[in-house]
Structure 1
Amino acid sequence: MFHIPSTVRRPLAVAGAAVVGLAAAVVLGQAPASAHHPEVSGTATCVDGKWQVAWEVANSEQDLAGDIVSATFDPTFESDTIKAGATLPAFAGDASLLKATQTLDANVTKASLSVEAHWKRGRKDHSATRGATVNIPKGGCRTSKPAVAFTDDCAGQVTVVVSNGSEATGRLRYKVLVGDKEITKGIVEIGKSSEPFVVPASEDETPVKVVVTSRDKVIGEHTWEGPEGGCEPEVAVDQTCDDLSISVTNPPEGLEFEVVFTPSTGEPQTMKVEKGKTATVTFPASDGLTVTPSIGGEDLDPIAWTKPEGCDEDTPTLPLTGANTGAIAGSAGGLLVLGGAVFYVARRRRLRFTA
C-alpha cells in the first residue's frame, strides 16, 4: 500500500477543504444574485446651481410583481411613485421601472435611497432591502448664472422665484413683466433667492405669459400650462335600478369649489369638492330623472338616469357598478364636457370654500 507522508497529508487536506469550500461558495453564492430583491440606482446632474438625482427602482423578477414596503430618501423626499404601498412591476425594460427625480441644493454633497420590497410566490414570502448612494457631480454644482423657477397653480396663476448664482460677482437686479407691463422688481444677493411672487391669472382667461429680465436681458420666461397632475376633475356616474350617483374626483392641485346638483324630482344637493378627494351625491331613480349641475348659479349640461336592463324583472337584480353601455352612452359625452366645464367655470369664478 502506498502511504502519503504525514508532512504532505495535512497540506493536501487543507487544500481539499478549500476546494470544497470554493465549490460550495460558487453554487450557493448564485442564490442571492437570483433572489427576489429591488434594484436601486441613481444618476446625478447639475441643474441651475442645484443638482438632481434621477432615481430608478427595478424588480429582479421578470414574472412576478412585488410591493414596496418602505422607501427611505436621505435627505428626506416625498415621491409619488417610489413609496410605501406602490407596486413594483415585473421587470420588462425601461417602462417597468419606478422613477423619481429629487432636487438638492449645491451644499448637499450626497443622497441615498433605501427600498424594501416584498413578493408572494406560491406559499412563500420573500422580502429584501437594497439601496444606493449618489454623490454630487464632480466639481460641485455652483454657478454664477441667475435662475428663475416658475410654478403654475390651477387658478391660472404663476409663482416666480428668482435666484442669484452662488459664484456671481454682484447683486442681481430683476423685473417681472407680463406683456409690456412691469408687475414687480427686486434685488437678489449673491447665492440667495427672492421671496415667491405670484403673478395673477389673465383677465381674459388666456394663459398668462411671464418674462423675467435683468439689465434688459431675458433670464427666464414661461407661459402658464397648469400643474403636472392636471386640474380638471374626473366625473363618474353610477346608475342602478334604484339610484343615480354622481362622483367628482379632484386632482391634488385642483381648485376647491362647490357644485349644486338639482334633480328634476326631489331636493337639490350641494357637493363640496376638496383638493385630492372624491365627493359623491346620490338621487333616487325615477323615470325621466335628470340632474343639472351648477356652479355659482351657472348651469352645466344635465345628467339623465337611464334604466338599466333587467330592472322590470321580478327576480332581484344586482346593482350595476360596471360598464353599462346602454345606460352610460347617452351621458358619456356630457361627462367629458362636465369635467372640463367644472374646472373652467370654477377657475373663472375663483370659487373656494373652507370645510
Structure 2
Amino acid sequence: MIRPKLSLRRPLAILGAAVVGLAAAVAVAAPASAHHTVIKGTTVCEPTTGKKIITWTVTHSERDKHATLVKVTPSINSPVSNIEGTVLAPLGKQGDTVVGTQEVAGDQTGTAKLSVYATWSKNGRITDKKTNDGTADLGRGTCEQAPPPCVSASEAKFKHTFDGPGGKATVELVGERPLCEGVEQPFTLVSYFAPRPEFSVPQYVYGEPDTDTIKAGQTKIELNVELPDCHTQVDLIWGGRDQVIEEIVKDGPTYGNKKLGSPGAPGNRSSGPNGWYNGGSKACQQPAAEFVSNCDGSVIVNLSNNGKISKYPVEFTITAGSWTKKVTVAANKGETVEVPAEHAAEVIVTADGFEAKPYKWQRPENCELPTVVAESDCESFTVGVQNPEGVTPVEAKIVYGDKTETVTVPAGETKTVKFKASDAEAAIVTFTGLDIEPFEAVYEKPANCGGDGGGLPVTGAAAGGIAAGAVVLLIAGIALFFVARRRRLRFTA
C-alpha cells in the first residue's frame, strides 16, 4: 500500500496565522493597560474667605516606575499648589500620591477640570508619557463668607453724641462684634479759649482734654470737659491726647476731618451730629479802666487786661471831645494814658467786652487853692486873685458895691481889678466851680488920704475865723490866769 507523504507546510501556515492574529490582538489591547495618572478632586467652602477650595489628589498606575508630573493645567484660571514638578514613587510605595489645592470664587458652580501631563521612567530612562484629566464637582450654590468673631481697626464703625455747650460727648462701637484683641481706638474731647463766639483764632486749650479708648471689652465711652466762662470752641476728635493742638493759630494746623461727624475720613467713620461747637456769651478778656484827676485838669487813665480768663490783647479807645487815642494792652498787662487838660472835661473809654462809662474831671481835694489880695488908697480899691502853679484856671467873680467884675486866672498868674473907692466896706470874691466859702476883701480908707495908701489885709471867711479864734484864746487865757491864782493862794495859805 502506498501511503501518501505528509507535508508540514499547511500546519506551519496555520500556526503563523495564529501568531500574527495573537500579536494583532495584543497590539489592539495594549492601550487599555498603558501608563496613566489618576486625578480626583473634592470641593469645600471656606467661610472665613467666602471662597471654594478644590483639593486635587494625583496618583499613577505603575508599580515599577516613577512618574514625573511635568505640567498641570486647570480649567479655571487660578493657581494649583504642590502638584506641578512632583516625582511620584512607584505605585504601592511611600510617595506614590501627591495632594494640591486650588482656590476659586465662591460663586463658581458646575465642574472643574485638571489636566496633568506626566512621564514615566525606569533606571533613568523615560518609558512613557501621557496627559490625563480629572474633575471636581463645584456644586450649585454660592459659598457664603461667615462674619469674623471680632472687628479689625480698619473695619470698625462708631456712633456718637455731642453736647458742645455742656462739654459732653459719647462714642460707641456699632454692631454686636467687639474690637479684636489688641485693637484700640481712642477719642478725645477738648475745649478752647476763643476770641469770638464763632470760629476765629488764636485759640488756646482750656483745662485738661478728656481722652478714653474703645477696645476689647469696652464698647462705649463718655467724655467730659470744662468750658471757660467766655467764648469757647469744643471739639470731639479721632485720636488720643497726642492729637490735641495746644494752640490753633492762623495758617497753623487744624483738626479737619479728624472731628467726628466730618464728611471725610476718619471722622466720617462715626455717625452722629457735628462734633464741634463755637459759642460763649462774653469775651475771654477782662478789660478795666480807672481814672485819676490831676489838679491841672488832666486825667490819668489806667488801663488793664488782667484776670483769670484774660488770654487776648485788648484794644482800648479813649475819647475826650475831639481827642482820641487807641491803646492795645496785652494779656495780664497794663498801660497808662494821660488825657490833656484841654480835652479832659469828659473822658469815654471803650473796648470789646468793656462797658463804656463817661468820666468827668473832678478837682482833687489836695489841690492848692487860689488866694485874694487887696490894696486900698484914698481914691481906689484894688482886688487881686492869685492862682497857684499846677492847677486849672480859675474864674473869680468880684463884687464891690454896685460894681461886678469877672476874671479868669490861669495857673501861676495873678489878675487884678481896680475899683473906684466908695462907701462900700468890702469886696466879695467868689470862685466858680470851687467848693469854698466866698472871700471878703475889706476896704479901709487910709487915715491920711493925703499920703500914700497902704495895703489892707484880706478879710472874710478866713479873716473872720482868725478873729474868732483870737477871742476864744483870750477868754481861755483869762480863765487860766484866775484858776492858777486861786490854786496859788490855797497853796501859800
* Pair in the same fold by TM > 0.5: no
Q: Shorter-chain TM-score: which interval?
A: 0.3 to 0.5
Structure with larger RCO (C-alpha < 8 A, sep 6+)? 1
- When normalised by structure 1's length, the TM-score is 0.34
Work out which of the two has the higher radius of gyration on C-alpha atoms and give 1 or 2.
2
- When normalised by structure 2's length, the TM-score is 0.25
